[in-house]
Amino acid sequence: MQVIKRLLYILSLLVPVVGFSQSTLLPQGYKHQPLMDRLEIRFRDSAMSFQNLKPFDRKSWVGVLERLDTTAVFSKADAHNINSALMNNSEWVTGSKESFQSRKPFLKTLYITKTDLVHVDVKDFFLTVNPVFQFMVGKESGTDEKMFQNTKGATARGLIAHKIGFDFYLTDNQERPPYFVKQFEDTFHAVPGNGFYKAFKETAYDYFDARGSVYFNVTKYINVQFGYDKNFIGDGYRSFFLSDFSSNYLFLKLNTKIWKLDYQNLFMELTPQEPINNGSVLLDKKYAAMHHLSWQANRWLNIGLFESIIYGRENHFEFSYLNPIIFLRSIEQQNGSKDNANVGFDFKTNVAKRFQFYGQVLFDEFKLSEVKGGQGWWGNKWALQLGGKYIDAFGVKNLDLQGEFNMARPFTYSHNDSVSNYSHYNQPLAHPLGANFHEFVGIARYQPHPKWNIQGKLIAWRQGLDSAGINFGSNIFRLYDTRPADYGWSIGTGRKATGVNASLWIGYELAENLFIDASLMVRKYDVPDDPLLTRNITMVSLGFRMNMFRREYDY
């Protein structure tokens, strides 16, 4: 990673020379993501077509909002959300900002705007600072212990002369999650979405969530981000390329936007599978390089190519993977084909200003001759996603539906060594289930009033698990060399497991970015002849949060 840091240093020397305006990015779980989806489908703005590379940049988002057809008719909820989105990204708003001001600032210096505790906007300097907190209590059936989430911290973002951007997010967390999340932690020694953690009150966890980035442009078209955070590639609820399920990681990202193309280079420093981290031993590192190229073929069709390499090199980056040009597979072969290479294809199409259809195909390993042979060769490792979105469904304003089907063959993402599997800090980099599964995701979102949001979600899956110590390809951390046979593999091979996770969330926005949340979840998980894994639960929770995303248990 020292090479990446040096490359960043060299690039940073160019900033005073080129002097192009630079934007920070929208946060994970951005509250206006449904609005972004709705506007992309309805207006088909070319800039929005590249929001499959998340997080999206604030400047482009405001540009989309300010280009909206002023003669278009918006629902009351959409009009409210558009104004709220502009207010929360005011540094890039070119029109009047008078409506963003608070009528009565606190102590005359705090909350001078409706969105920010501290807001500084002067020549060559912009800064916002805000508190972050989430307090949730809940009850899970079958146990006397109360669930809880106790989060407190701060977030900030800023611009220096509109040439250098920076942001950070820091929280201290204590959490007692549902029982099945504890089972995940017991199995993989990881709290989903987080890194180092400690025990808290015997059955709960204590951890920090620290993120931060600096941003600048080296030309008008190339943006650079150096940070410690998460990324997501895709248009679906899940991603087979890169999701935000795992912990934060150090990365260097170059994003090039020109003509109808958006090209992203992502160089990452990751942590391989480790036993329990007691905080007193220096952990090893592994590395990844990813490329994604999007082409906006026309107003309604976007096509993308993806590739990635995961590898270990005695704790140093492989220099040849710094090549910014796509097709890393050729370099991997030149190096001896030792590393874990993946390639993929994705698409997105917007139809009739109401529908969006999207998909991903990922190939970990593939032989057409073996597919034609029909014998279920283990090495045909691939994953497929197909999904669709329907806005203002059945003529009901602000009722949006989404359906998604995901499937992954056995042994996808695994490798023949424990370092190069598709993971970070004992968690999958892509889908939470790992591999060897079918999954359906259905989501209904409804905003009947600007202040109210309702979401129903149904996730159902079937997976083949290991049995009697035999590797059936669902656990990406197990070496694929330990498979019991070369042929006879299909999705679901192994010990059959079925699951259903149904949830309902109702949220009310008391003030800008301050929410009251109420949720109900019913989860049924069945593994025949295994009472330790088979468990049906009902969970209810109530909480409030400010300036952060909801903690969801959606797997």
> Cα dist. 443→214, 456, 523 in Å?
34, 6, 16
Looking at residue 118, what is its pLDDT?
Answer: 97
pLDDT of residue 448: 98
SS3 331: helix
- Report residues of the chain scoring pLDDT below 50: 13-18
Quote the pLDDT of residue 16: 46
Please tell me the predicted confidence (pLDDT) of residue 413: 97
The reported pLDDT for the residue numbered 141 is: 95
What is the helix (H) or strand (E) element at residue 18, kind and residue range? helix 15-18
Beta bridge partners of 276: none
Contact 227, 267 (CB under 8 A): no
Q: Say if residue 142 is exposed, middle or buried (CB neighbours under 10 Å; 0-12, 13-18, 19+).
A: exposed
Structure pTM? 0.94
3-state secondary structure (DSSP) of residue 222 = strand
Cα separations in angstroms, 222 against 2, 153, 350, 364, 450: 22, 32, 27, 29, 37
Q: Are 430 and 240 in contact (CB under 8 A)?
A: yes
Tokens of 56: 């999206």
The residues with which 350 forms a beta bridge, in sequence order, are: 356
**Is-contact 436 410, C-beta < 8 A?**
yes
Q: Which domains does the chain have, with CATH numbers?
A: 2-94+114-546 (2.40.160.10)
